[in-house]
Amino acid sequence: MPGGNINENDEFRTDEVWMEEALRAAQRALDAGEVPVGAVVIHQGKIIGRGFNRNILDFDPTAHAEVVALREAGASLGNHRLSDCDVFVTIEPCAMCAGAMVHARIRRLIYGADDPKAGAVHSALHVLNHPALNHRVEVRAGVLAGRCAEILQEFFRSRR
């Protein structure tokens, strides 16, 4: 159906625009000496939450990009439920971040690079759509995956 393809293509282009914002946040993490992961939360076409890894800066093991962005989004909406929101993140979320997304009831997760060692969407674990949980999240993987992987590889190369 041609109309469906046009809408799907528009959605994919929009996803790439938002992933660019997540990449900008990841660059901030890199500049701060943190593992370069960035995230944004989108509600009605606007960024309502933005985060980058801040574990070292904040002395906080939970200060992952996704959690930072979800906290900001919740404060922005005045609600812990983010059911009409989409989360864009540069790498497949870990179990903690995936769990936070389930609790927030996000609508959609869009991420860049897979994380074979700690990814909790479809790599190491399957948290987001686990049958025992009370919420399901629509997932799109691989958006700007090469660029998302490259910023992480650059960080770890510089540490070796």
Instruction: Tell me the catalytic residues.
Output: 66
Q: Is residue 148 exposed (0-12), middle (13-18) or buried (19+ Cβ within 10 Å)?
A: buried
Gap between the Cα atoms of 125 and 9, Å rounded: 29
List the one residue out of 64, 73, 62 whose CA is nearest residue 34: 64
Under 8 Å between Cβ of 18 and 110: yes
Gap between the Cα atoms of 128 and 106, Å rounded: 10
